[in-house]
Amino acid sequence: MKLAELQALFQSAILAGDETDAQLIEEILPKADESRETLLGVYVNAYTLRLTEYLDEDYPALRAYLGEKEFRALVKAYIAANPSKFRNARWFSNPMPEFMQESAKWRAKRRAIGIAQFERALTDAFDAADASAASLEALASFPPEEWPELAFSFHPSLHLLQVAKGTLDAYVAATAEDEETRKRLAQIRATACEGTEAAAVWRAEGDLSYRGLEDDERLALNEAIAGKSFGEICQLVAFQDESQPAVERLAQFLVNWFSEGLVAGVAKATCD
Partner 1 sequence: MEPLPRLGYGLGLRPIYYEEILSTLPAVDWFEIISENYMIPGGRPLAMLERVRRDYPIVMHGVSMSLASTDPLDFDYLAELKALAERMEPAWISDHVAWTGVHGLNLHDLLPIPYTREALAHVVERIKRVQDFLKRRLVVENASTYIAFKGAEMTEWEFVAEMAERADCLLLLDVNNVFVASFNHGFDANVYIDAVPAGRVAQFHMAGHTNKGTHRIDTHDQPICEEVWKLYGRARRHCGDVSAMIERDDNFPPFAELLAELQRMRDIDASLSAQASLGEPPRSAA
CA pair distance 127, 240, nearest whole angstrom:
35
CB 261 within 8 A of CB 135: no
Identified binder of partner 1 from the candidate list 8, 186, 236, 255, rule CB under 8 A? 8
CA pair distance 172, 189, nearest whole angstrom:
13
CB 9 within 8 A of CB 27: yes
Beta carbon nearer to partner 1, 28 or 108:
28
85 binds partner 1 (CB under 8 A): yes
Output the smallest distance, CB 161 to partner 1, in A.
19
Beta carbon nearer to partner 1, 27 or 149:
27
Provide the 10 A C-beta neighbour count for residue 2: 7
Identified binder of partner 1 from the candidate list 127, 146, 236, 245, rule CB under 8 A? 127
153 binds partner 1 (CB under 8 A): no
CB 161 within 8 A of CB 198: yes
Q: Which long-range contacts (CB under 8 A, 24 or more apart) does 238-247 make?
A: 240/214, 240/215, 240/216, 241/216
Provide φ and ψ at 213, rounded to 5°: -125, 135
CB 62 within 8 A of CB 71: yes
- State which amino acid sits at residue 246: A
22 binds partner 1 (CB under 8 A): no
Query: 65-84 mask for partner 1 (x: CB under 8 A)?
Result: ------------------xx
- CA 203 and chain centroid, separation: 13
Output the smallest distance, CB 14 to partner 1, in A.
6
Beta carbon nearer to partner 1, 28 or 226:
28
Output the smallest distance, CB 125 to partner 1, in A.
8
CB 127 within 8 A of CB 157: no
Which of these ranges, 44-52, 73-81, 170-178, 188-196, lies near partner 1 under the rule CB under 8 A? Answer: 44-52
Which of these ranges, 36-44, 112-120, 174-182, 243-251, lies near partner 1 under the rule CB under 8 A? Answer: 36-44
177 binds partner 1 (CB under 8 A): no
Identified binder of partner 1 from the candidate list 42, 73, 80, 108, rule CB under 8 A? 42
55 binds partner 1 (CB under 8 A): no
157 binds partner 1 (CB under 8 A): yes
DSSP string, 170-225: HHHHHH-SSHHHHHHHHHHHHS---SEEEEEEEEETTEEEEEEE-HHHHHHHHHHH
In 3-state terms, what secondary structure has residue 32? coil
Which of these ranges, 28-36, 170-178, 194-202, 218-226, lies near partner 1 under the rule CB under 8 A? Answer: 28-36
Footprint of partner 1 on this chain (CB under 8 A)? 1-4, 6-8, 10-11, 14-15, 26-29, 31-34, 36, 38-40, 42-43, 46-47, 50-51, 83-90, 92, 126-130, 156-157, 203, 206
